[in-house]
Each structure stands twice: as C-alpha cells, then as structure tokens.
Amino acid sequence: MCACVWPAAPDRRRLRSPYAARMRTRAVAYDHQRSSLHTRAWMCSYLGYVDMYGTSFSEDILATGMGTHLALPLIRERWSADMSEGEARALLEDCMRVCWYRDTRALNKITLAKVTSEGSLISEPYTLDTKWDFKSFVAPKAATDTGGSW
C-alpha cells in the first residue's frame, strides 16, 4: 500500500477528509507507476480494501459491511487456496444466502465475477435458492390467545 508523505508541503498532512486521503494516495500511486524503479512492484496483483477514512489493508479474503460479521467466518472456515471454481462459487452463494436472510430490504438475486490474469468474467444476475417453509415458520408454537406469536 502507499504511504502518503509530503515533506515539501506539511500543510497538506492536516487534510483529514476521505477525499483528501484518496487524492494523496492516487498522487503517490501515479508517481510510483511512472518510476521505472517501482514498475515491477505495481505489476503484481493483490486484493485490497480502503475505507472512507483511508484505512487500508490487503488479504487473501475480504468482506465489507455486514458480510464482515456474517460471511467472513464462513469463508475463513471453508476457504482453501486449491479450491475449484465450483467450490468457490458454492461458498460465495452460501455466504450471500446468509447475508440475504439477515437483510430485510434485499433481493435474492446476485451477480458473481471471476477475475484472472486473462481478464474478468461477470455472470448474468441469477436467483439464489431459498427455504422459507421451516416447520416453525409454517406452524407457530404459541397461539394468538397466549400473547405470543411464536
């Protein structure tokens, strides 16, 4: 990741807005890309994340938002470096299904992307299989006269 140091302009270090942090990072990245000494370092691929405050890190697996709490534990448990594409797709579908069950405003339609050194491939949107006919959903335990709904 880029370290933003501006020795010639110390006033700029006081700019703490996310926009200013992104602009400084872009400027440093552009300078590094133009330099022949750093060209090899910028040719490698990585998976990274930068939040709105400028906090950045890179990992083998990432999730954002509620996916950090719901999907990331599933990925950490089942991910391996030698997974087949089918296994990886099934894992992502399971993660998206868990996140979807917890989000009341979402649709169960997803799009997956595959990125390799040859390029990227984005799937058409498709609908996840879901299950809502659990016994306790269909036949609640408590009657309406007891004051409980389940």
Query: Domain check: are 116 and 74 in the same one?
Result: yes
Q: Is position 5 within any domain?
A: no
How many whole angstroms separate alpha carbon 19 and alpha carbon 29?
15
Paired tokens of 52: 């709105």
Paired tokens of 72: 């990331």
Given this model, what pLDDT does residue 58 score? 86
Residue ranges making up the domain that contains 18: 10-58
Name the pTM for this structure. Answer: 0.61
Q: What is the pLDDT of residues 75-98, one digit of tens each?
A: 999 999 899 999 999 999 999 999
Query: Domain check: are 35 and 72 in the same one?
Result: no
Non-local CB neighbours of 67 within 8 Å, separated by 6+ positions: 95, 99
Say yes or no to pLDDT of 131 above 90. Answer: no
How many whole angstroms separate alpha carbon 15 and alpha carbon 27?
15
Given this model, what pLDDT does residue 18 score? 53
Given this model, what pLDDT does residue 125 score? 94
How many whole angstroms separate alpha carbon 148 and alpha carbon 87?
42
Residues paired with 122 in a beta bridge? 113
Paired tokens of 46: 């990585």
Query: Domain check: are 85 and 110 in the same one?
Result: yes
Q: Is position 91 within any domain?
A: yes
Say yes or no to pLDDT of 141 above 90. Answer: no
Q: What is the pLDDT of residues 23-76, one digit of tens each?
A: 444 444 444 444 444 455 556 777 888 888 888 888 888 888 889 999 999 999
Q: Is position 139 within any domain?
A: no
Paired tokens of 16: 């703490």
